[in-house]
Amino acid sequence: MKKFRSLASFGKRIEFWVIGEMIKQGLDVYTPVVDDMGIDAIVRKENGSFIEIQIKARSKDAVFGNSGLFAGINHDKIRKNYYFVFYSERMETTWIMSSKEFMKESNVNKQGKHAGKRTIWLNGKNTKENKEFTKKKFEKYIASDFGKLK
């Protein structure tokens, strides 16, 4: 039971951590009470407009090689002013993509329990060195701060 509780709450803990980091960096962040539209946070940009944020995270306990695997994401059309923040705990890496970038870079699952949903695999692995790394094509999305959301 303890392991399940830990896994079930990991995503929410990381959401709050990411939101806290956004606030520390000066972003004006609001959190919806209900998460039924894939919106974990709303940010008021410096120009007064708003963007919606979906936060996805992978635990350090993920299977080796899957630290940057984000699967089964409901996102079937480009959403204006919508961004994904992906975080890998083991890799200590954050990637930020707009909805348009995510649609371009992700794949639609053809079969299985996530058929019709989208998957993106941001990392590769080096089994000889027991290391995971960001795939070259996704390096441009690595974020050391949340400036892309300002």
Q: What is the pLDDT of residues 67-92, one digit of tens each?
A: 999 999 999 999 999 999 999 999 99
pLDDT in tens, 83-118: 999 999 999 999 999 999 999 999 999 999 989 999
Q: Which amino acid does the sequence have at 4?
A: F
Q: Which residues contact 9 (CB under 8 A, 6 or more apart)?
A: none
pLDDT band at 7 (very low <50, low <70, confident <90, very high): low
- Mean residue pLDDT of the chain comes to 94
pLDDT at 1: 47
Q: Would you say 83 and 75 are in contact if contact means Cβ atoms under 8 Å apart? A: no
**Domains along the chain with CATH numbers:** 2-146 (3.40.1350.10)
pTM beyond 0.85: the answer is yes
* CA of residue 86 relative to chain centroid, distance: 2
The residue among 32, 35, 89 whose CA lies nearest residue 62 is 89
